[in-house]
Amino acid sequence: MVYSIEIPAEVVHATRMTPEEMKMELALMLFQQGKLSFGKAREMAGLSVWDFQLLLGQRKILVHYDVQDYLADQPAIDALTKP
């Protein structure tokens, strides 16, 4: 399912942004607020994993990764580091 948001032409004109740029800014804001995961925000922004990580770094937006995430990733980390 796809939702559309109506944005008045005056607002789009005032921002001097393309619809794609506005979508990316919304994705960044929602990620920063913890309302979207990295994957969903990246998808919404239309960027690759690497490009989204670079953009987050440029904007000094921290990636949400806590102890629970690390513990969930630990089996994969162990599997990758074993000979």
For residue 1, what pLDDT band results from cuts at 50, 70 and 90?
confident
Interatomic CA distance for residues 49 and 57, integer angstroms = 12
The verdict on pTM exceeding 0.75 is: no
The tokens describing 16, both together, are: 């001097």
Q: Is 39 exposed, middle or buried (0-12, 13-18, 19+ CB in 10 A)?
A: exposed
For residue 19, what pLDDT band results from cuts at 50, 70 and 90?
confident
For residue 28, what pLDDT band results from cuts at 50, 70 and 90?
very high
Mean pLDDT of the chain: 89
Q: In 3D, which of 31, 60, 33 has the Cα closest to residue 47?
A: 31
* Residue 43: its H or E element: helix 38-45
For residue 55, what pLDDT band results from cuts at 50, 70 and 90?
very high
Assess contact for 23 and 46: CB atoms under 8 A: yes
